[in-house]
Amino acid sequence: MPKWVYNFGAGEAEGHAELQGKQEELLGNKGANLAEMASIGLPVPPGFTLTTEVCSHFVDSGSYPEGLKEQVQKSLQTLESRAGCKFGDSENPLLVAVRAGGRASMPGMMDTVLNVGLNAKTVEALAEKSGDERFAYDSYRRFIQMYADVVLGIDSSHFEKMLRRAKQKRGVNEDHELGVEDLERLVRDYKTKVFVELGAEFPTDPQVQLWGAIGAVFKSCSSSRAKTYRELHDISEDAGSAAATVQAMVFGNGSGPDSASGVAFTRNPSSGDNHFYGEFLLNAQGEDLVGGIRTPAELTMQARLAHGNTLPSLEERMPKVFRELVAVREQLEKHYKDVQDIEFTIQKGKLYMLQTRAGKRTTHAAIQIAVDMTNEGLITKPQAVMRLHPSQIDQLLHPTIREDAKKQVIAKGLPASPGAAMGKVVFCADEAVQRVNDGEKVILVRSKTSAEDIHGLHAAEGVLTTCGGMTSHAAVVARSMGRPCVAGAGHLEIDEAAGKLKVGDVVVEKGQKLTIDGSTGEVLLGDVPTVVPKVTGAFRTLMSWSDEYRTMQVRANAETVADARLAKDFGAEGIGLVRTEHMFFVGMRITAMRQMILASDTRDRKDALHRLLFMQREDMTELFQIMEGHPVTIRLFDPPLHEFLPNTEAELSYVARAAGVPVDRVRRRATELNEANPMLGHRGCRLAITYPEICEMQTRAIFGAAVEAGRTAPSKKFPVVEVMVPLVASVGEFKIIKQIIDKTAAAIQKEENVNFEYRVGSMIELPRAALQAAKLAKHAEFFSFGTNDLTQTTYGLSRDDTGSFMAEYKAKGIVACDPFVTLDEDGVGELIKLAMTRGHSTRPDMKMGICGEHGGDPTSIDFCQRIGLNYVSCSPYRVPIARLAAAQSALKARGEEVGSPEIRAAKPRVPTFGPW
Amino acid sequence: MPKWVYNFGAGEAEGHAELQGKQEELLGNKGANLAEMASIGLPVPPGFTLTTEVCSHFVDSGSYPEGLKEQVQKSLQTLESRAGCKFGDSENPLLVAVRAGGRASMPGMMDTVLNVGLNAKTVEALAEKSGDERFAYDSYRRFIQMYADVVLGIDSSHFEKMLRRAKQKRGVNEDHELGVEDLERLVRDYKTKVFVELGAEFPTDPQVQLWGAIGAVFKSCSSSRAKTYRELHDISEDAGSAAATVQAMVFGNGSGPDSASGVAFTRNPSSGDNHFYGEFLLNAQGEDLVGGIRTPAELTMQARLAHGNTLPSLEERMPKVFRELVAVREQLEKHYKDVQDIEFTIQKGKLYMLQTRAGKRTTHAAIQIAVDMTNEGLITKPQAVMRLHPSQIDQLLHPTIREDAKKQVIAKGLPASPGAAMGKVVFCADEAVQRVNDGEKVILVRSKTSAEDIHGLHAAEGVLTTCGGMTSHAAVVARSMGRPCVAGAGHLEIDEAAGKLKVGDVVVEKGQKLTIDGSTGEVLLGDVPTVVPKVTGAFRTLMSWSDEYRTMQVRANAETVADARLAKDFGAEGIGLVRTEHMFFVGMRITAMRQMILASDTRDRKDALHRLLFMQREDMTELFQIMEGHPVTIRLFDPPLHEFLPNTEAELSYVARAAGVPVDRVRRRATELNEANPMLGHRGCRLAITYPEICEMQTRAIFGAAVEAGRTAPSKKFPVVEVMVPLVASVGEFKIIKQIIDKTAAAIQKEENVNFEYRVGSMIELPRAALQAAKLAKHAEFFSFGTNDLTQTTYGLSRDDTGSFMAEYKAKGIVACDPFVTLDEDGVGELIKLAMTRGHSTRPDMKMGICGEHGGDPTSIDFCQRIGLNYVSCSPYRVPIARLAAAQSALKARGEEVGSPEIRAAKPRVPTFGPW
Across the interface, of A768, A795, A800, the residue whose CB is closest to B676 is A800
pLDDT for the residue A895: 82
Q: Specify the higher pLDDT residue, B647 or B559.
A: B559
Query: Which of B:831-870 have CB within 8 Å of A?
Result: 831
Closest-CA distance of chain B to residue A913, Å = 22
- Compute the distance between CA of residue A856 and CA of residue A877 in angstroms, rounded to an integer: 9
Quote the longest CA-to-CA distance of chain A.
108
pLDDT for the residue A166: 93
| Residue A353 domain boundaries | 260-361
Mean pLDDT of B643-650: 78
A830 contacts B804? CB cut-off 8 A? no
Burial of A556 (0-12, 13-18, 19+ CB in 10 A): buried
pLDDT for the residue B174: 83
- Do B243 and B264 belong to one domain? no
Beta strands in A371-419 (DSSP E): 400-401, 409-412, 414-417
Q: Residues B429, B447: contact at Cβ < 8 Å? A: no
Across the interface, of A730, A792, A798, the residue whose CB is closest to B815 is A730
pLDDT for the residue A225: 67
Q: What is the CATH number of the domain that holds A99?
A: 3.30.1490.20
The separation between the first and the last C-alpha atoms of chain A, rounded to the nearest angstrom, is: 58
**pLDDT tens track for A516-544:** 999 889 999 999 998 878 788 999 999 99
Closest-CA distance of chain B to residue A839, Å = 15
Mean pLDDT of A565-587: 90
Is A394 contained in some domain? no
pLDDT for the residue B234: 62
- Do B496 and B557 belong to one domain? no
Number of domain units in chain B: 4
Q: What is the CATH number of the domain that holds A661?
A: 3.20.20.60
A771 contacts B830? CB cut-off 8 A? yes
Query: Which of B:737-756 have CB within 8 Å of A?
Result: none
- Do A429 and A356 belong to one domain? no
pLDDT for the residue A174: 83
Beta strands in B612-748 (DSSP E): 632-635, 721-725
Let me know the angle formed at the C-alpha of B362 by B898 and B885, rounded to the nearest 5 degrees. 35
Average predicted confidence (pLDDT) for chain B: 89
Q: Which of A197, A220, A248 is the last residue of a domain?
A: A248
- Do B466 and B570 belong to one domain? no
Contacts of A690 in chain B (CB under 8 A): 804-805, 808
- Do B721 and B781 belong to one domain? yes
Q: Residues B744, B696: contact at Cβ < 8 Å? A: yes
Q: Residues B707, B752: contact at Cβ < 8 Å? A: yes
Contacts of B832 in chain A (CB under 8 A): none
Contacts of B725 in chain A (CB under 8 A): none
pLDDT for the residue B206: 96
B753 annotated to a ligand binding site: no
Is A380 contained in some domain? no
Across the interface, of B681, B795, B800, the residue whose CB is closest to A766 is B795
**pLDDT tens track for A293-312:** 678 899 999 999 988 888 99
- Do A327 and A459 belong to one domain? no
Contacts of A791 in chain B (CB under 8 A): none
Q: Ranked by mean pLDDT, which of A393-397, A662-666, B610-614 comes out on top?
A: B610-614
Closest-CA distance of chain B to residue A497, Å = 19
- Do B97 and B218 belong to one domain? yes
- Compute the distance between CA of residue A38 and CA of residue B2 in angstroms, rounded to an integer: 102
Average predicted confidence (pLDDT) for chain A: 89
Contacts of A796 in chain B (CB under 8 A): 679-680, 727, 729, 765-768, 789, 792-793
- Do B468 and B605 belong to one domain? no
Q: Which residues make beta-bridge pairs with A96?
A: A116, A248
pLDDT for the residue B394: 84
Is A61 contained in some domain? yes
B678 contacts A801? CB cut-off 8 A? yes
Closest-CA distance of chain B to residue A467, Å = 11
ipTM, 2 decimals?
A: 0.82
Q: Specify the higher pLDDT residue, A779 or A105.
A: A779
**Given pLDDT bands bounded at 50, 70 and 90, which one contains residue B900?**
low
DSSP state at residue A154: -
A815 contacts B730? CB cut-off 8 A? yes
Q: Is B473 a catalytic residue?
A: yes
A795 contacts B732? CB cut-off 8 A? no
pLDDT for the residue A522: 93
DSSP state at residue B583: H
- Compute the distance between CA of residue A205 and CA of residue A213 in angstroms, rounded to an integer: 12
Our measurement of the distance from residue A14's CA atom to the centroid of its chain's CA atoms, rounded to an integer in Å, reads: 38
Residue B461 predicted with pLDDT over 90: yes
- Measured between CA atoms, the residue of chain B closest to residue A801 is B681
Q: Which residues make beta-bridge pairs with B298?
A: B279
Across the interface, of B765, B772, B830, the residue whose CB is closest to A827 is B772
Beta strands in A488-550 (DSSP E): 493-495, 500-503, 506-509, 513-517, 522-525, 530-531
A733 contacts B814? CB cut-off 8 A? yes
- Do A451 and A597 belong to one domain? no
Residue A373 predicted with pLDDT over 60: yes
Residue A907 predicted with pLDDT over 50: no
The single-letter code of the amino acid at B823 is: L
B675 contacts A798? CB cut-off 8 A? yes
- Measured between CA atoms, the residue of chain B closest to residue A675 is B801
Closest-CA distance of chain A to residue B209, Å = 47
Q: Residues B599, B583: contact at Cβ < 8 Å? A: no
A795 contacts B766? CB cut-off 8 A? yes
Contacts of A798 in chain B (CB under 8 A): 675-677, 679-681
Q: Specify the higher pLDDT residue, B217 or B231.
A: B217
Mean pLDDT of B773-796: 97
- Compute the distance between CA of residue B96 and CA of residue B115 in angstroms, rounded to an integer: 6
Provide the CB-side half-sphere exposure for A761 (13 A, CA).
30
Q: What is the CATH number of the domain that holds A479?
A: 3.50.30.10
- Do A36 and A108 belong to one domain? yes
Residue A329 predicted with pLDDT over 80: yes
Closest-CA distance of chain B to residue A675, Å = 6
**pLDDT tens track for B338-377:** 999 999 999 999 999 999 988 888 888 999 999 999 999 9
Q: Specify the higher pLDDT residue, B391 or B333.
A: B333
Q: Which of A361, A388, A414 is the last residue of a domain?
A: A361
Percent of chain B scoring above 70 in pLDDT:
94
Residue A703 predicted with pLDDT over 70: yes
Contacts of A682 in chain B (CB under 8 A): 801, 804-805
Is B751 contained in some domain? yes
pLDDT for the residue B602: 76
Mean pLDDT of A850-876: 95
B801 contacts A676? CB cut-off 8 A? yes
**Given pLDDT bands bounded at 50, 70 and 90, which one contains residue A109?**
low
- Compute the distance between CA of residue B526 and CA of residue B424 in angstroms, rounded to an integer: 9
Mean pLDDT of A176-203: 93
Query: Which of B:564-593 have CB within 8 Å of A?
Result: none
Mean pLDDT of A718-732: 96
pLDDT for the residue B914: 27
B680 contacts A680? CB cut-off 8 A? yes
**pLDDT tens track for A216-245:** 888 877 776 667 666 666 666 666 688 999
Which candidate in B389, B455, B473, B779 is catalytic? B473
- Give, in order, the Cα–Cα distances in Å from B239 to each of A67, B2, B55, B64: 94, 21, 12, 20
Q: What is the CATH number of the domain that holds B270?
A: 3.30.470.20
Query: Which of B:651-710 have CB within 8 Å of A?
Result: 675-682, 686, 689-690
pLDDT for the residue A913: 31
- Compute the distance between CA of residue A289 and CA of residue A772 in angstroms, rounded to an integer: 67
pLDDT for the residue B439: 87
Mean pLDDT of B403-421: 89
Q: Specify the higher pLDDT residue, A534 or A498.
A: A498
- Compute the distance between CA of residue B271 and CA of residue B657 in angstroms, rounded to an integer: 57
- Do A13 and A151 belong to one domain? yes
**Given pLDDT bands bounded at 50, 70 and 90, which one contains residue A836?**
very high
Q: Residues B252, B353: contact at Cβ < 8 Å? A: no
pLDDT for the residue B912: 30
3-class secondary structure, B17: coil
Query: Which of B:758-787 have CB within 8 Å of A?
Result: 765-768, 771-772
**Given pLDDT bands bounded at 50, 70 and 90, which one contains residue B905?**
very low
Residues of A tagged active-site: 473, 851
Mutation test of the interface with chain B: which of A669, A673, A801, A805, choosing the one with the most B Cβ atoms within 10 A?
Answer: A801
pLDDT for the residue B398: 86
- Compute the distance between CA of residue A13 and CA of residue A35 in angstroms, rounded to an integer: 5
pLDDT for the residue A231: 65
**Given pLDDT bands bounded at 50, 70 and 90, which one contains residue B286?**
confident
Closest-CA distance of chain A to residue B802, Å = 7
Q: Specify the higher pLDDT residue, A531 or B527.
A: B527
Q: Ranked by mean pLDDT, which of A207-211, A270-274, A502-506, B287-291 comes out on top?
A: A207-211
**Given pLDDT bands bounded at 50, 70 and 90, which one contains residue A403?**
confident
Is B502 contained in some domain? yes
A579 annotated to a ligand binding site: yes
Least confident of A835-849, B16-30, B821-835: B16-30
**Given pLDDT bands bounded at 50, 70 and 90, which one contains residue A83?**
very high
Provide the CB-side half-sphere exposure for A838 (13 A, CA).
20
Contacts of B805 in chain A (CB under 8 A): 682, 686, 689-690
Closest-CA distance of chain A to residue B672, Å = 10
Mean pLDDT of B103-121: 80
Mutation test of the interface with chain B: which of A683, A814, A826, choosing the one with the most B Cβ atoms within 10 A?
Answer: A814
Rg from Cα positions in chain A: 34
Is A430 contained in some domain? yes
Is A901 contained in some domain? no
- Measured between CA atoms, the residue of chain B closest to residue A729 is B795
Our measurement of the distance from residue B577's CA atom to the centroid of its chain's CA atoms, rounded to an integer in Å, reads: 25
Mean pLDDT of B69-95: 95
Q: Is B851 a catalytic residue?
A: yes
A647 annotated to a ligand binding site: no
- Measured between CA atoms, the residue of chain A closest to residue B679 is A677
Is A848 contained in some domain? yes
- Do A597 and A641 belong to one domain? yes
- Compute the distance between CA of residue A137 and CA of residue A182 in angstroms, rounded to an integer: 9
A826 contacts B689? CB cut-off 8 A? no
